[in-house]
Structure 1
């Protein structure tokens, strides 16, 4: 299935390191394997990255790419190629249109899975696209009510109740319905991959509120979500104090931790798997995996960008492509 799965890779912000990590990752693959990829973006940006990274690749339009050529589904910029390493509304608009085109390929069946390079939220918003990032944009493009961010690594996996909102907003969002939906999304994903996950729900307050001394949300909203999930046959426990649950999961007690907000889940993952963790969108009618790093404007165009995370994202995307979708989005 690896060889047959069609992977659409979006360029990300063309002024960032996305084009570079893409060409470096593809350059590590045998020529025959590269035929399973189509890059959604601009050939000019890829050529610029190709020169900076000295990878020696060749590109051609997706409908004519032959042996030795990387297929490119060209999305016209409508403006000169943005300067490398600079926040630009042209680049922000382009990154959104790359993603939109990739979603079209996935929904039509022309791609089995999408892998996304990093975008810049400031550039995207300057271009008039007011989303919190890939997660919100993909939910909008696919008509999904919401989606969930899973950060996956070899020894620790975490899925988030909320991501790119204020801490105050995250507290308000940690309600029974949303926590239960997050548990179910994580459970369904692991079942699809052939494993019944052992899930732990991280507490919201210090020591899960210490019986109301430090807040009541854990007993009022999180605990009922756990009980409802267990009634559905899901292997889940909690809430468990966040200062211990991630260490327990890392050491093998749990396969997945439900994080209540962005930093609660991101900090432990980036501490132990900064270069290899990947971002997976759940709850969508399509499959999408992303690198778990930003546009790195400070090193864009220098040839210094590390492509290990892109290789990890591609590997996880292929794993998902091998696994049939078993649940409705």
Structure 2
């Protein structure tokens, strides 16, 4: 699937951007994305953060961007002249490269507020800057990651609407979905069931049609074992779990093929035959897509009743506060969220 991220004719409402880990590069790449709003076709957005932290970090990094505190309703007008910041109630410390669990309350508040604003019709979608999970865990955060937390928030703020989050990494040349995500590799075979694969396949097919405008998305399923198991001689999961799941998806009218040997699934000629790969575990999905287009790939959460995208990189603590982080992936996330919100 070729992901076009041009937001021309995008949503009337601004996007809500959560600031992410204060010790990381979130505020810096947001400011640099704002600077490029015209030449990069960035749709209007506002940043959910502690304004004092934003002022401090941009001054420290010597980023000369005008900042104004505002409301979601005023953000689109403000966007023409200044970076709109909608204040949080919690404070954030400006400690580049040094995460502090004391900031966890503000990080979580930014994400929760963004989802609530979308539910209230004050924002068209959510773009999240990277979080530092270890700091959140130290403060009592009990979700494996962003994706799972957003699923819980969807159930709270969109009652009665289905919410089963599925991670997709969407790039200009390759898009992938990990069927199992944040679990140890040794646990993958046990977690990999035909039912899980079919559920993920249904969500991917539905949302590629609903959010991306693909009438009949083509799903290629990667094998788990070398050579897709060689008919059970190198592991039985491909024959006994993945192949029946592919047959079930096809029986439902979904264009699915596989299991395909993963070592020949990601080269250019193979990519022409599908729109998305369903990979069986985290690194099988993320390594190829990040290798091909690290700076342009976007993390998209499918299966939610709202639009959510994110850069595909982490908090980059080692370069925080130095104004050397590239905003390309965040810009791609903003543009794609704008396009998805306009399609939905």
TM-score (norm 2): 0.88
Task: Give CA-to-partner distance per residue, 1:11-59, whole Å, 9 cap, x none.
Answer: 011111011000100111249x888322111112222332214232222
Mapped contact 2:56–2:94 kept (Cα < 8 A): no
Show the counterpart of 1:12: 20
Q: Which residue of structure 2 aligns with residue 43 of structure 1?
A: 51
Which of 315, 318, 326 in structure 2 is aligned with 1:295?
315
2:187 is equivalent to residue 169 of structure 1: yes
1:327 equivalent in structure 2: none
Q: Judging changes above 3 Å, is the alpha-carbon distance between structure 1 residues 205 and 291 closer, same or farther for their aligned structure 2 residues?
A: same
State how far apart, in whole Å, the 2-side matches of 1:64 and 1:127 are.
33
Question: 1:82 offset after TM fit, Å?
Answer: 4.4
Matches within 5 A, 1:185-224: 185-192=203-210, 193-195=212-214, 196-224=216-244
Aligned partners of 2:104 and 2:190: how far apart in 1?
30
Structure 1, gaps ≥5 residues long = 325-329
Mean Cα deviation higher: 118-127 or 141-150: 141-150
- 2:89 paired with 1:76: yes
Cα distance in 2 for partners of 1:277, 1:9 equals 17
Q: Distance in 2 between matches of 1:306 and 1:205?
A: 36
- The 8 Å contact of residues 249 and 256 in structure 1, kept in 2 or not, is answered as no
Is 1-10 or 208-217 further displaced after alignment? 1-10
1:223-276 superposed Cα distances (whole Å, 9 cap, x missing partner): 111111101111110001111112257641211100111000000011101111
What SS class does the counterpart of residue 298 from structure 1 fall into?
helix
Q: Distance in 2 between matches of 1:283 and 1:53?
A: 39
* 2:123 is the alignment partner of 1:115: no
Match of 1:55 in 2: 64
For structure 2, the 5+ residue unaligned runs are 1-8, 156-161
Partner of residue 278, structure 1? 298
Work out whether residues 35 and 70 of structure 1, in 8 Å CA contact, stay in contact via their aligned partners in 2. no
Count how many residue pairs are aligned between Structure 1 and Structure 2. 322
Deviations 1:76-131 (A, max 9, x none): 225x6141211210223321111011111111111111001000010110111022
Q: Distance in 1 between matches of 2:132 and 2:237?
A: 33
Helix, strand or coil at the partner of 1:149: strand
Alignment partner, residue 175 of structure 2: 157
Q: Tell me, yes or no, if the aligned pair for 1:9 and 1:116 is still in contact at 8 Å.
A: yes
Kindly indicate whether the alpha-carbon contact (under 8 Å) linking 2:28 and 2:321 is maintained by their aligned counterparts in 1.
Answer: yes
Is residue 269–residue 277 contact of structure 1 (8 Å, CA) maintained in 2?
A: yes
Relative to structure 1, is the Cα distance of residues 112 and 158 closer, same or farther in structure 2, using a 3 angstrom cutoff?
A: same
Q: Distance in 2 between matches of 1:224 and 1:289?
A: 31
Query: Paired residue for 2:339?
Result: 319
Question: Over aligned residue pairs, what C-alpha RMSD do you find?
Answer: 2.0
Pick from 30, 34, 38: which aligns with 1:22? Answer: 30
Quick check: 2:21–2:99 contact (8 Å CA) kept in 1?
no
| Residue of structure 1 in register with 2:149 after alignment | 137
Runs of 4+ in 1 over 6 A off after TM superposition: none
Aligned counterparts of 1:151 and 1:34: Cα–Cα separation in 2: 20
